[in-house]
């Protein structure tokens, strides 16, 4: 597989074309941003951790019938993925209150929700990724009704599968963000699933093992990422 031109560089990843027109290479960086890039830094080894954790989770989800862009792990920082056109939505599922939802509703973090909360945010940095509903997405052609139905159905199933997976690691899956893409007319899961895009709290202690350690200057950021990697790799053996 030949790595060709870079087609995109985001905050945490670069994407390259390959000699196969249907495949891209996704390369994970150590760069970290928070609060819409107002806070910037480096989390040493993060790229390696996120690449590996994402690949384990994508493979687990594929096995359970979720279509994903994952093809194979190429190296420590590189993953071969199907070429997709990203739907401009950040799809969030919450099981426990934290971050944006606690702020939005003026409630404490750490409240276990009676039912999972499904949210859509418009992927637009200049607007701070505003919370929207399906009507907004439909009305301005972000996706069709059929696509939105598929995205919601997949997101709810993914939440169940991820919750079960992390349960076994003694971790509460507080919330997470997904991105979906179009590939040959079909909606598939894309992007990454990692401590950058999920909140992971150790059961019992509530110890945070995710990007909130960086966002909130809690210290031991690298250690938390390595700890999550070790846990995920251990159970996937
Ligand atoms: N999230 C993300 N990218 C974003 C915003 C949020 O991956 O641009 C993840 C975040 O890590 C958390 C979940 O989505 O697991 C919900 O985040 P929230 O809406 O609470 O926003 P935040 O508090 O991170 O600003």
With 0-12 / 13-18 / 19 or more C-beta atoms within 10 angstroms meaning exposed / middle / buried, residue 185 is exposed
Kindly give, in sequence order, each residue whose CB lies less than 8 Å from that of residue 57, ignoring residues fewer than 6 positions away: 162, 165, 193, 232
Q: How confident is the model over 61-96, as pLDDT tens digits?
A: 999 999 999 999 999 999 999 999 999 999 999 999
Ligand 1 contacts CB of residue 175 (under 6 A): yes
3-class secondary-structure state, position 127: helix
CA of 78 to the centre of ligand 1 (A): 23
**CA dist., res. 96 & res. 166, Å (int):** 14
Ligand 1 contacts CB of residue 176 (under 6 A): yes
Q: Is the pLDDT of residue 237 over 80?
A: no
Q: How confident is the model over 125-149, as pLDDT tens digits?
A: 999 999 999 999 999 999 999 999 9
With 0-12 / 13-18 / 19 or more C-beta atoms within 10 angstroms meaning exposed / middle / buried, residue 38 is exposed
Percent of the chain's residues with pLDDT above 90 = 97
| Atom number, ligand 1, closest to the C-alpha of residue 210 | 11
Q: Tell me, what's the pLDDT at 236?
A: 82
- As a whole number, mean pLDDT of residues 26-45 equals 96
Ligand 1 contacts CB of residue 116 (under 6 A): no
Instruction: List residues bridging with 182 in a β-sheet.
Output: 85, 187
The model's confidence at residue 32, banded by pLDDT at 50, 70 and 90, is very high
Q: Kindly state the tokens that stand for 222.
A: 């690298």
Supply the residue whose CA is at minimum distance from atom 21 of ligand 1: 100
Enter the pTM of the model.
Answer: 0.97
Ligand 1 contacts CB of residue 198 (under 6 A): yes
Q: Tell me, what's the pLDDT at 135?
A: 98
Ligand 1 contacts CB of residue 199 (under 6 A): yes
Supply the residue whose CA is at minimum distance from atom 2 of ligand 1: 197
**CA dist., res. 32 & res. 211, Å (int):** 9
CA of 1 to the centre of ligand 1 (A): 33
**CA dist., res. 13 & res. 1, Å (int):** 19
> What domains sit in the chain, N to C, each tagged with a CATH number?
3-82 (3.30.200.20), 85-220 (3.30.470.20)
């Amino acid at each position: 597989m030949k790595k060709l031109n870079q087609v995109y560089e985001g905050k945490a990843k670069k994407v390259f074309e390959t000699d196969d027109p249907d495949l891209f290479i996704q390369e994970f960086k150590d760069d970290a941003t928070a609060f819409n890039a107002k806070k910037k830094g480096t989390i040493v080894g993060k790229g390696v951790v996120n690449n590996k954790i994402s690949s384990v989770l994508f493979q687990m989800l594929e096995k359970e019938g979720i279509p994903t862009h994952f093809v194979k792990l190429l190296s420590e920082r590189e993953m071969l993925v199907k070429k997709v056109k990203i739907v401009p939505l950040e799809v969030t599922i919450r099981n426990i209150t934290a971050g944006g939802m606690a702020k939005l509703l003026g409630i404490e973090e750490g409240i276990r929700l009676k039912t999972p909360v499904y949210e859509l945010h418009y992927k637009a940095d200049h607007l701070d990724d505003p919370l929207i509903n399906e009507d907004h997405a439909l009305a301005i052609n972000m996706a069709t009704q059929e696509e939105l139905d598929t995205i919601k159905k997949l997101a709810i199933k993914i939440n169940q599968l991820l919750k079960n997976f992390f349960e076994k690691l003694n971790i509460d899956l507080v919330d997470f963000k997904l991105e979906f893409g179009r590939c040959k007319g079909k909606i598939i899961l894309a992007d990454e699933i990692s401590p950058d895009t999920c909140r992971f709290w150790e059961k019992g202690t509530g110890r945070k093992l995710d990007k909130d350690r960086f966002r909130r200057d809690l210290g031991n950021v690298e250690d938390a990422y390595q700890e999550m990697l070790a846990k995920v790799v251990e159970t996937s053996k």
